[in-house]
Amino acid sequence: MGRLCGCAGCGALCMLELTSQYWEIPMETRDKRQDIMAAAEKLLAHRRIHEVTLDDVAKEARVGKGTIYLHFKDKDDLFFEVATSGFDELCGVVRGQVPADIPFDGQLLFLCGAISGYFRERRTLIQMIQAEDARLPGGPGSFGARWLERRRALVDEVAAILARGAADGVIRAGTPPAVLAHHLLGMLRTHNRGLDDFPTEFRTHETVVALFLHGAAAPARGGKRK
């Protein structure tokens, strides 16, 4: 239990200290892994990666440092999971929630919205950890390799949707869906990162979908594209 004293200022008993035993009681009813990740993300909002230690994370999450190692291999593993949290859920949305019973351009709009929303929310953390990974001796390390694995999973899910369009004759069938998926994701990356100085009308998902489906060629006379 904690140590109690009588405070002259408040006229009541107050808790001066919380022992580790007291700290751990509420934690039993919570997800410690999520608490640890939330604590790390909170700290990273105000500091660089190398400025945050596992001791800091443990203190913020109100767990013992050893508890962190029960859920993560090391500091790099923790920060990678923080930066990419929700990625599996994103793949699940792409796989199971993009409606197949609406026009294909509508499916692509839904897809673009889900992907852009995820990367917009995680962008700063992902860029921070990519920068940290690149500065390590020998160049890009484990983050880059693990990120490519995650990206391949997303490419596969996007490709499965594009295969629908190919089967319906909406997009070209001669190009592997995975290649088309890489192109679409590249367009979304530009949309989310590189167009901040352009008017809003050129930064819509409708523009991305139109360029992906029809290219930049001007329509020929009669409404057909050149």
Q: What is the pLDDT of residues 85-122, one digit of tens each?
A: 888 888 988 888 899 899 999 999 999 999 988 888 87
Among 130, 115, 112, 143, smallest CA distance to 207 is for 112
Distance, CA of 73 to chain centre: 20
Q: How confident is the model at residue 225 (pLDDT cuts 50, 70, 90)?
A: low
Q: 37: how many CB neighbours lie within 10 A of its CB?
A: 21
Residues paired with residue 15 on neighbouring β-strands, in sequence order: 4
CATH for 16-80, options being 1.10.287.610, 3.20.20.80, 3.40.50.720, 1.10.357.10: 1.10.357.10
Residue environment code for 144-164, b if the CB has 16+ CB neighbours within 10 A, otherwise e: eebbeeeeebbbebbbebbbe
Q: What is the pLDDT of residues 115-158, one digit of tens each?
A: 988 888 877 777 777 676 665 544 455 677 787 888 899 999 99
Map out the domains of the chain as residue ranges. Answer: 16-80, 86-216
Taking the domain 86-216, which CATH number applies? 1.10.357.10
pLDDT of residue 93: 86
Judged against a pLDDT cut of 90, whether residue 183 lies above it is answered with: yes
Judged against a pLDDT cut of 80, whether residue 14 lies above it is answered with: no
CB 110 within 8 A of CB 104: no
Task: Name residue 100's amino acid.
Answer: A
Average pLDDT, integer, range 195-210: 90
Q: How confident is the model at residue 206 (pLDDT cuts 50, 70, 90)?
A: very high
pLDDT of residue 45: 82
